[in-house]
Structure 1
Amino acid sequence: MPKPVTLTEVHPHPTTTLRHRAQLVRGGGPAVPLDLELHYTSLDPFAVRIVLRTDGAAVHWSLSREALLLGLRRLEGIGDVAVWPLREADGHGWLRIRLGPPGSGAVFQTEQDVVAGWLDVTQQLVPLGGESDYLDWDGFLTPLLGQD
């Protein structure tokens, strides 16, 4: 796979984006290459946005950063999202992600160590457990409650 690219900005808000390759996993068929983008920002500190692209088509999805972190070690998720590690006989580690309902969703995989390294960057921007510190509750609630 080509070398992953991680972009990080801290102005005006801490943001990081990983651009890498992924593969659509098909039962019994060859994997289909995809462009993968993972995006994280302190403006939405609990979420990671995923974009998968191929030949002009794109799918956008959001899932929790915590689900990705837990999925590096074990099966995590219910419903329309699941994340789990996969180790091949040669020792290569993959991170598999299912988007959509079990049995009819799309499963893709990317290199586990690349995602783990990028998630470390997200934790440098917004420490795990400190996500709520980045939410502007006063700015949200003041107009709703008619306070100035």
Structure 2
Amino acid sequence: MNGEQAGVQAGQAGAGEPPVLCLDVRRVLDGVPLLPVRAEFRFEVSSPMLVSVTLTPCRGRGVTWRISRELLYLGLYEESGEGDVQAWPVRDEAGETTSWLLLESKTSSAVFELPVAEVEEWLDATYELVPEAAEAHALDWDAFLGELQDAGGRSGD
């Protein structure tokens, strides 16, 4: 990842953890990516099946979603997910491919446009730390289930 790219920053991470990926993404309204939103992607080796994404609009509080790492990766190139979290590739007017991420709760929904190259590079770094085949062995099941139970799959900051 190029840390000099506009809107992209790599944050600090602990030993054995990939850096935090900070991106300026856009919320999609009526099929058009418009509203800027700050997105921070985090990965923890102790919970390798999940990626935490904190979305913070220019004004207002951020919200954190815990998303399947596999769902997010697949959604860069094909339709992925069902229900509350879905991702799929979209070709923009310039012919570039982006990925759209749909997040739905009981009270609202939002779609965000993600840059494929930056998210893929960051996800590849997570798979270098914990390959997909090793996820089940690396997972602290008690902590994982406790976190899901406490957060209900997502939490506000």
Does TM, normalized by the shorter one, top 0.5?
A: yes
Matches within 5 A, 1:1-148: 2-7=6-11, 9-11=13-15, 14-27=17-30, 31-54=34-57, 55-100=59-104, 104-136=108-140
The alpha carbon displacement at 1:15 in A equals 4.2
The runs of 4+ residues in structure 1 deviating greater than 2 Å are 6-11, 13-16, 135-140
Q: In 2, distance between residues paired with 1:16 and 1:5?
A: 9
Please provide the CA RMSD for this pair. Answer: 2.6
SS in 2 for 1:9: coil
SS in 2 for 1:130: helix
Higher RCO (CA 8 Å, separation ≥ 6 residues) = 2
TM-score of the superposed pair, with normalisation by structure 2: 0.77
8 Å CA contact retained: 1:8, 1:16:
yes
For structure 1, the residue ranges without an aligned partner over 5 or more in a row are 141-148
8 Å CA contact retained: 2:18, 2:125:
no
TM-score of the superposed pair, with normalisation by structure 1: 0.81
Matched residue type, 1:53 = T
Work out which of the two has the higher radius of gyration on C-alpha atoms and give 1 or 2.
1
For structure 2, the residue ranges without an aligned partner over 5 or more in a row are 145-157
Matched residue type, 1:94 = T
Question: Taking every aligned residue pair, what percent have the same amino acid on both sides?
Answer: 34
